[in-house]
Amino acid sequence: MTDRSRYVFGAALASAALGAMPGLMQPAHAVSITAAGFNFETSALPLNAVNVTAPAFGPLVAESGVGSAFGSHLASNTVYSSPAGNGSARSFSSNNWAIGDYYQFGVPTTGLDSIMIGFDQQASSTGPKLFTLAYSDNGASFSTFTTYAVPFLTITSTGTAGSATVGFASGTSNTGFHVMFDLSSISSLNNAPGATFRLINADTTATATAGTNRIDNVVVTGNLVPEPATIGVMAVAALGALSRRRRV
């Protein structure tokens, strides 16, 4: 290899290695992957066969990736069920909501940063329609990210005084129920084996005991973080190549 070729190779290697280090040159290209996905088509068993009456229910194992889902209520007569999802046969649903009741998703984000969470959520006419998204990096202490309104769609028929409530349906996926949150600003969730997310009922208006709220198609994603050891090896090799070029 000529001196010129060695220099070009060394410079390219240095650029690639240093580009993967935060704050140095250009960042490495981020690869977004799914940490966990819950569609409740298989994980909701035994809910698929029979409803469960209990204050808490879980874990429901993620259908893709690694993670677990729970439901937690104060009322011992809460009914957990798996009615139609948003474009699928199943979702995760419960009634008898009180302030502070929640759905929880434990999803390790090991090796990931720039975390995002998306899901489909629907309230019945008498169910809770205001929730808080909370997060934790250890599954024990939680912080509030935001409070959001749960989609509850009512379509007024043209030319008539009537209206029709549109809900989850197994044969039709409605994007109006989709909610997405970008948690990339929460650095504590990066590379966190104990990363946990809660959707907490914050609706202070009166809700009926039979009022339900259901969740479906929960997906937690992140960008793949390069291994520090790999970056280090690349950096040392690159700097060595450049150093040899200078001595020639």
Residues in CB range of 45: below 8 A, 6 or more apart: none
- Residue 135: what pLDDT? 98
Residue 171: exposure state from Cβ atoms within 10 A (0-12, 13-18, ≥19): exposed
Task: Give mean pLDDT in consecutive 10-residue pieces for the chain, a chain of 248 residues.
Answer: 48 44 47 95 93 97 98 98 96 97 98 98 95 98 97 72 80 94 98 98 94 97 78 46 50
**Long-range pairs for 145-150 at CB < 8 Å and ≥24 separation?**
145/181, 145/183, 145/186, 146/181, 147/202, 148/179, 150/121, 150/122, 150/123, 150/179, 150/213
Domain spans of the chain? 1-28+226-248, 32-222
- Residue 206: what pLDDT? 83
First vs last C-alpha separation in the chain: 13
Listed residue (81, 141, 130, 64) closest to 102, CA to CA: 130
d(CA 118, CA 37): 10
For 98, the token pair is: 């009180």
Q: Which residue has the tokens 């040159």?
A: 25
pTM recorded for the entire structure = 0.80
| Backbone φ, ψ for residue 116 (5° rounding) | -135, 150
Tell me which fold the domain 32-222 belongs to.
Jelly Rolls (2.60.120)
